[in-house]
Amino acid sequence: MRGLIVTADDFGAAHEVNDAVELAHREGILTAASLMVGGSAAADAVARAKDMPRLRVGLHLVLVEGRPTLPAAAVPDLVDADGFFRTNMVRAGIAMFLLPRVRRQLAAEIEAQFEAFAATGLPLDHVNAHKHFHLHPTIAGLIVRIGRRFGLNAMRVPYEPASVLRQIEPEAPAGSSLVVRLWADRLRKRLAEAGIFSPDQVFGLAWSGAITTARLKGLLKHLPDGVSEIYLHPATAADFPLAAAGYRYAEELSALISSQAIDFAKNNAIRLGTFGDFLPPANGGKVGPAFASPV
């Protein structure tokens, strides 16, 4: 069985992102979205999600390059003088690992973001973190401990097999680095021990912000057995606040709604679904649905 979850990250970051998520779900192959609860357009994203019951929404924890959900004064060691999360992930990660006061602030902020998601009334389909910061063992441990109280059953493990990328483009980047693979293996083991589902492989790291129609079709063609996740960053424009330089937002949206991707998924025994659809039966899951025409 080749199962596939297609996720849009940064839902709620801007109206341009929300517009693209809605279009990609209604007219394309997008099945899930990861919500930034502190995003400037988060309320709009939640309203749209409630009008699209087949779109499943998860929590996109933001602990870097954004504002905290808690007041800055409550998390002084996590933010800079302007109240934004610090951008140096190495230095921030070391402090989180070594300093108890920083871990207490981190735990409070993670809990606040879970609480903000719960307040939306949306079922929690999955969890991941901006810039894959959940690979950090301290962050991962807190997500597991806190998240279970909020219904956490599924989480992304950013492991991308380079062999698949090179079948599509022989000169493709190497996929997950050795360091990322080591941390990903550790995270997968921790999640398995906690009974939390994760897809077998994830695509979107090497081509972050640049999954074109040709690349998406290639991923669908060479999709491995098991459950895969492809995550993208669609938007209708690239000039919204906090947009990443060089990201090809509109091209990723075009890929998601392209007839090539839709037809290939429909005709090649790929079972599109959400994280919840692929949960093991012990967690109340079921086998993901076969491809259905966009709503």
| Per-residue pLDDT reduced to its tens digit, 66-97 | 999 999 999 999 999 999 998 888 899 899 89
Examine the pLDDT at 141 and tell me if it is beyond 90. yes
> Which of 177-186, 214-223, 284-293 is the most confident on average?
214-223
Examine the pLDDT at 294 and tell me if it is beyond 90. no
Is residue 255 within 8 Å of residue 215, measured between CB atoms?
yes
Mean pLDDT confidence for 158-171: 92
Decide if 130 is inside a domain.
yes
Decide if 177 is inside a domain.
yes
At 229 the three-state DSSP class reads: strand
Q: Which domain holds residue 84?
A: 2-283
Confidence class of residue 282 from pLDDT cuts 50, 70 and 90?
low
Q: Which pLDDT belongs to residue 290?
A: 47
Q: Is the overall model pTM greater than 0.85, yes or no?
A: yes
Q: Using the CB atoms, write b or e for 61-91: b if 16+ within 10 Å.
A: bbbbebebbbebeebeebbeeeeebeeebee
Q: Which pLDDT belongs to residue 256?
A: 98
Decide if 294 is inside a domain.
no
Partners of residue 127 on adjacent β-strands: 59, 155
Cβ neighbour number for residue 190 with a 10 Å cutoff: 18
Decide if 151 is inside a domain.
yes
Decide if 291 is inside a domain.
no
Decide if 233 is inside a domain.
yes
Which domain CATH number covers 184?
3.20.20.370
Specify burial of residue 246 (Cβ count, 10 A radius: 0-12, 13-18, 19+).
Answer: exposed
Residues 258-277 pLDDT 10s: 999 999 888 888 999 999 99
Decide if 293 is inside a domain.
no
Decide if 288 is inside a domain.
no
Domain count, the chain: 1
Examine the pLDDT at 103 and tell me if it is beyond 60. yes
Mean pLDDT confidence for 214-235: 97
Q: Which pLDDT belongs to residue 182?
A: 85
